[in-house]
Each structure stands twice: as structure tokens, then as C-alpha cells.
Amino acid sequence: MKKRNLTYSLAINEATYQMMKKNKNVFVIGQGVKSPWYVGNTCQNLLKKFGPKRVIDTPIAENVINGIGVGAGIAGGRAIVVHPRMDFMLYGLDPIINEAANWQYIFAGQSSAPVIIRSIINRGGEQGAQHSQALQGIFAHIPGLKVVAPSTAYDAKGLLISAIRGNDPIIYIEDRWLYGQEDNVPEETYNIPIGKGIIRKLGKDITIIGLSYAMVNILKAVEELKKQKIDAEVIDIRTIKPLDINLIIKSIKKTGKVVIVEAAWKSGGVSAEIASQISEKAFSYLKKPIKRICLPDTPAPTSKILEKAYYDYISPEKIIKTVKNIIK
């Protein structure tokens, strides 16, 4: 495959374009999709190429937008529903949780409701409590939904293509802080299997597990730890649900020590689920207690100074300090 550098946001754009070109039933619907800057260039030029019948810019009506996406999936279409802010997706949970997630079960597998819900975490920039929330834990709790959270441009493209080609309702979580991250991305279409994590770095001293934006800070921390003769193994789960717990257990058998990093709240989050499964399935391999690095259980502050302190809870420095304390 021919590769070249591509940003995370443009990788999403390319995957969307390629799948819309291959399948006339694929369409994009959501707020701001005709104004590429509004969704970080992830819908760049799609309106020009496919027209307003397949790139549908909507009013602010989250419940209706999700309902259209779910209904289209049931009828044979394939909607990519775009929510520029995850926070306001809460207005549209009914079609996702009550309908799409349950559809296959209710109809004994004879019918499905495939839809891709692109849910964007739009944190930072002094936006405050109602515009900064990472709510993946809510969707990970729901049977029937698959939840992915790519951390690289390569994964962003491959996982979106897999989601569109699949037959399930997918919550596709993006962190806007990743949009400018570059990676080597093939020009061709390719799949990354949903439900499979990846080892970003092999190591023997400790296992660090993360997802989405947290991987940026983890990899920075690991470079510094390497200089201090600490050899960390890094696992990017990529898919929140189903979780690739076997990959995690294999690493823990080797290292015996675990740190989980999530750029979200600690209570009831994805980090808690990972820690719980490790305790149930790999407790005998642990040499030290599991440590979690997450945001504090408080809404994001608006003040610039307080906001910095808030996100410093998941900083590379915090990861380095935690790992060193465990190793000691």
C-alpha cells in the first residue's frame, strides 16, 4: 500500500469519501457537515462531490438526527451521523440506546440497525463544563453497541471503514485534540478489526494501557521513562467495546504491573471496567495494585489556570511519577 502523512481529521475525511464513492447507500448527516471547518475538516469537500442529498446539514435536533440515522440503517442505508460535541448527544440517546442497540436482539438477528455515530469530544479552550465531556463510559455500558476510540490517523481511517462495512450500531469517538496528529496512512481502503487492541511499544517492566487522546501523553511519558531505564509496554485498546482483554492479560503476565490512563472521569469509566476485568481474570499475575490516571471527578473548569491544572491530572509528568512509584 502506498502511504503518506495525513492528519487524523483528514484520515476521517478520506475514509468517508472512499466509502461514499464505493457505496451509494452511505451518506453523512449532522450539524455543520457542509462547513468543513466546523467539524475539523473531517467533511472537507464532501458536499461538493456528493451533493446535498448525501451530505445533509441539519438544524440542532440531535434526537431527530440520530433517529434518521437508525431508521436509514434498518431500511438498508448507512448513515454517518456527525455530532460536533459529544455533550449535546445526550439529547439524542433514545434512538441509539432504546432502538439501535436492541434491534438485532428484538428481531432475533433477522434485522439490524447499522449506523455510525461520530461523537466528538471538544475539550479545552476554556469551554467549561458543558462543552468538554468525555462520555464514552455511558455507551460502553449498553449491550448491542460497539464503541471505538482511535488514537492515530491510521486507526481513524481503518476503524471508520470497518464500522461502515459492518452491520452494527457503532459509537465512533473522536477527540478534537487529536485532529492535528499526523501518521503514515495508506491511500487505499483498509480495515482495522473492531475489538482488537494493539501494542504500541513492547516492554518488560510495566504495562501502560490507554485509549484515544491519552495515548499522546502515554507515549511522551514512555520516551522519558526509557531514558530512566524503565521499559514500559504500551497497549492502545482502540476498541472500548468489545474490549481486547486477552491482549491485556498477555502483557500483564509478563510485567505484573499496570497503569491505566483515560482522559475522562475516574468513577464508572472505561478505566474502571478495564481494571475490573484485570482483577477478575488476571489477579494472580499482579505484583502491585492497579493504578489509574484519570481526570478528577469534577466538571471541567472555565478558568484558563484551573483548566490547565485539571488536564495536568493526565499529563506525561503525572504518568512518569506514577510509574516510577510503582517500579520503586
Catalytic residue numbers read: 62, 131
What's the half-sphere exposure (Cβ side, CA atoms, 13 Å) at 139? 29
Tell me the C-alpha distance between 267 and 249, whole Å.
Answer: 23
What CA–CA distance (Å, rounded) separates 95 from 173? 18
C-alpha cell at 125: 479552550
Rounded distance between C-alpha atoms, residue 40 and residue 44, angstroms: 9
Give the three cell numbers for residue 13: 475525511
Task: Write out the DSSP string of 252-284.
Answer: HHHH--EEEEEEEESTTSHHHHHHHHHHHHSGG
What gap in Å lies between CA 169 and CA 166, rounded to an integer? 9
CB 315 within 8 A of CB 263: no
Contact by Cβ (8 Å): 106, 56: no
Q: Identify which of 169, 44, 178, 167 has the alpha carbon closest to the alpha carbon of residue 122.
A: 178
**Run of H or E residues at 20:** helix 8-22
